Amino acid sequence: QSVLTQPPSVSAAPGQKVTISCSGSSSNIGNNYVSWYQQLPGTAPKLLIYDNNKRPSGIPDRFSGSKSGTSATLGITGLQTGDEADYYCGTWDSSLSAGSWVFGGGTKLTVL
Amino acid sequence: QITLKESGPTLVKPTQTLTLTCTFSGFSLSTSGVGVGWIRQPPGKALEWLALIYWNDDKRYSPSLKSRLTITKDTSKNQVVLTMTNMDPVDTATYYCAHRPPLGMSFDYWGQGTLVTVSS
């Protein structure tokens, strides 16, 4: 079981909007920045969102991130078939003295 | 631009020690705040963080795997090495190394990954 909880799957039609949630606790999301990663089939993960809501250069503004308390959300608007992928949230967890990085269990996005 | 590439054996036997090398370019591991991490992904499963080494040689490990992992860096060669002892078939996974930028909390550049199979 992952420290961060994500829904296993979400789906929506092309052109629509979808949100993916990531639930944690005060030792991780509640007190640290969240990042989001997109993993297309057979490829390495790619950074989509960092520091809760910032987009790296080249990431379209269809992708957005937000955080409230101990949860974070990834939003994708104007869905395209090319957005079909697995999405992961990640953050630092400070529950142990040395800390550790944690990922969510991943969410598979299907664009119907 | 920043690139990373993992190298190492594709097949190891149970109980053996795995040694993986991450060779990178486009940044220096002597730059303040920079880090390189290792993350793995068993076939069809989620990402699992393993270890992280910082520019100042500070090292962090996954609590569940800490006793089996060692991460080191060779700044002059632009390499980070991860060793994992006592390999088991459940350690079969694609292993990625990734760049941690000096500011913020993320892994912004990833290697292509290397599949390691543990089997006798």
pLDDT tens readout for residues A15-55: 999 999 999 999 999 999 999 999 999 999 999 999 999 99
Q: What is the pLDDT of residues A64-90, one digit of tens each?
A: 999 999 999 999 999 999 999 999 999
How many helices, marked H, and strands, marked E, lie in chain B? Answer: 0, 11
Q: What is the pLDDT of residues B20-62, one digit of tens each?
A: 999 999 999 999 999 999 999 999 999 999 999 999 999 999 9
A44 touching chain B per CB within 8 A: yes
Instruction: With beta carbons less than 8 A apart as the criterion, state whether B73 and B24 touch.
Output: no
Distance CA A4, CA B68 (A): 24
Looking up tokens 């297309």, which residue turns up?
A40
- For residue A2, the model assigns a pLDDT of 85
Can you read off the two tokens belonging to residue A90?
A: 């990640």
Can you read off the two tokens belonging to residue A105?
A: 């269990």
A65 touching chain B per CB within 8 A: no
**Quick check: A51 and B106 CB within 8 A?**
yes
Q: What is the pLDDT of residues B90-103, one digit of tens each?
A: 999 999 999 999 98
Of B35, B20, B1, B23, nearest to B76 by C-alpha is: B23
